[in-house]
Amino acid sequence: MQKKRVEVAVGVIEKAQQIFVCLRGEDQHQGGLWEFPGGKMEAGEDVFSALKRELQEEVGIEIYNSSELMRIEHDYADKAVCLYIHHVEDFSGEAHGAEGQPSKWVAVEQLHELAFPEANKAIVELLQARQN
């Protein structure tokens, strides 16, 4: 049996050298861990359109532009994910947990102190390497 493959648009939202993160609900895959917001791409949807839709729904911001940061493919025991990670600095609104999820701004150099899903660790490493 082939694993389910999920394509996800992920936003690394940055403002004043801080990154916005959200806590995954305990009932979700990788629940209880911090994440960069985003969500599943719908059939035929490009990364920017998915990111724009997901960030509006999940964190209440309107994005105008993004740049590709990296792509990560990761196999979990129950599914495979392909993360399309985009850097977002051009947005309006105040990012918050629009679905009631805990969220916060974290300095780039402190990101490694949070527990992230395995697939997100490369994002933290890249962001911190760019700081130095």
Q: Is 38 marked as binding a ligand?
A: yes
Task: Give the whole-angstrom CA distance, residue 23 versus residue 101.
Answer: 6
CA distances from 105 to 20, 29, 69, 79, 111 (A): 4, 22, 19, 29, 10
Q: Is 71 marked as binding a ligand?
A: no
Q: Helix-strand-coil percent breakdown of the chain, rounded to 5? A: 25, 40, 35
The alpha carbon of residue 86 and the mean position of all alpha carbons in its chain are separated, in whole angstroms, by 8
Residue with tokens 């850097």: 87
Q: Is 73 marked as binding a ligand?
A: no
Alpha-carbon torsion (116, 118, 120, 121), positive or negative? positive
Q: Is 125 marked as binding a ligand?
A: no
Q: Is 109 marked as binding a ligand?
A: no
Q: Is 117 marked as binding a ligand?
A: no
Q: Is 29 marked as binding a ligand?
A: yes
Q: Is 37 marked as binding a ligand?
A: yes
Binding residues for Mg(2+): 38, 58
Binding residues: 24, 29, 35-38, 58, 120
Binding residues for 8-oxo-dGTP: 24, 29, 35-38, 120
